[in-house]
Amino acid sequence: MSADPIADAPTTSRFALIYPYLLLSLCMLLWSGNWIVGRALRDTMPPVSLAFWRWTVAGLILAPIALPRLRGKGALLRRSWPLMLGLAATGGAFYHVAAYFGLRHTETINAALLNSATPLFILLASWFFDGRRATVRQLVGMVISIVGVLVILNRGDLSRMAALQFSIGDLAILGVMPSWAFYTVMAKRRPIEIDNMTLIFILAVFGVTALAPFYWLESVYVQPTPFNGTTIMAALYMGGCASVGGYWCWNKGAELIGANRAGFTTYLMPAFTTILAMFILDEEVHLFHAVGIVTILFGIWLATSNYNFGRVRRI
C-alpha cells in the first residue's frame, strides 16, 4: 500500500476549486448587508415596498443585458413560465416580503439564528426532488457550524438561549426557509437557453408584476414610502448588489457545486452580519466573535470538502 499522492494541481485547477466558494462567500456578504438595510429601514419602508423597489431596480439594471438575449425565445418562455413563476415566488418577490416582514417584527439575533436552518431545508429539498441524501460529513459540519452561530448570537454564553423569545416575525422567517430551498434546488431545472443573468431578470419582471397591486394597497392603506436619499440608496443597494450581484453569485455557485454544498455557506451570514455591524454600528470586537467565526468556517469546510483523511490506495 502507498499513500494516495496529492497532485500539484495547476493554479487554474486550484482556482476552479475555490471559485464557487468565493462566489457564494461574496453572495453571503452582499445578503448580510441587505439584512442590515432591511432591519434599519423597518420603520421607513414597509415589507412590500422594500421588495418591490429592490426588484424594480434589479430589472432596470438587467434589462439592457437580458432583453436582447430573450429575443426569439417567446415559445420557450411560454413553455417554461410555470417554473419561472414558481422561482420568482419562492426565491424572489414574495420570499423577500416575508423576510422583510420578519425583520420588521423580530430582533436581528433571532432572525439570524432562524436563517441558519436554511441548509437543513436545502438538504431535505434535495432529497425530496433529486433523491440526494446528506452524508455524515455534511451533517457533522452542519452541527459544528450551528454551534459557531450560537456562539456569536449568544455572545459566547450559550445559557442565553433560554432567554430567546419568538414572535410572529420569527415564524415568518422560519416559514419562508422551505421556499428558498425549493428555489435553490429547482433553479437548475430552468431551460439551458436561459442563462444566469436572464433568469434574474425574469425573476424581477415576474416579481414586480405580482407585487405591483400589493405595493399600491400598502402605500394607500398601510404606509407610503418616502423618497429621499436614504431610501433611494437602499433600493440601489438591494437591487444592484443584493439582487443582481448576490443572485448571480448564488445561482452560479450552486450550479457549480450543487445545492447541498452551496447551502452550507449560508452559515457565513451571521458571521458577516456581525463583522458589518462592527464597522457600521461601531460595535466592539470580542473573543467570542473570533471563536464563532472560526467554528463556522471549520463546519463549512468539513461539510463541503472532498478531502479524506488518511486516504490510501491499493496498488
Residue 98 identity (one-letter amino acid): A
- Provide the residue range defining the domain that includes 120: 21-305
pTM: 0.77
Query: Residue range 181-187: average pLDDT?
Result: 84
Q: pLDDT category, 177, cuts 50, 70, 90?
A: confident
Confidence of residue 152 (pLDDT cuts 50, 70, 90): low
Is residue 16 domain-resident? no
**Residue 89 neighbours by CB distance under 10 Å:** 18
Q: Is the pLDDT of residue 1 over 70?
A: no
Residue 13, in any domain of the structure: no
How high is the pLDDT of residue 109? 60
Give the tens place of pLDDT for each residue, 15-29.
Answer: 778 899 899 999 999
Average pLDDT value for residue range 205-218 = 92
Q: Is the pLDDT of residue 10 over 60?
A: no
* Residue 29 domain flag: yes
Does 8 reside within a domain?
no
Q: In this structure, are residues 196 and 250 in contact, taking their beta carbons and an 8 Å threshold?
A: no
Domain count, the chain: 1
Is 96 contained in some domain? Answer: yes
CA–CA gap between residue 156 and residue 150 (Å, rounded): 8
| Within a domain: 314 | no
Query: In this model, does residue 2 exceed pLDDT 50?
Result: no
Q: Judge whether 59 lies within some domain.
A: yes
86-102 pLDDT, tens per residue?
A: 888 888 788 888 888 88
In a domain, 196, yes or no: yes
d(CA 63, CA 73): 15
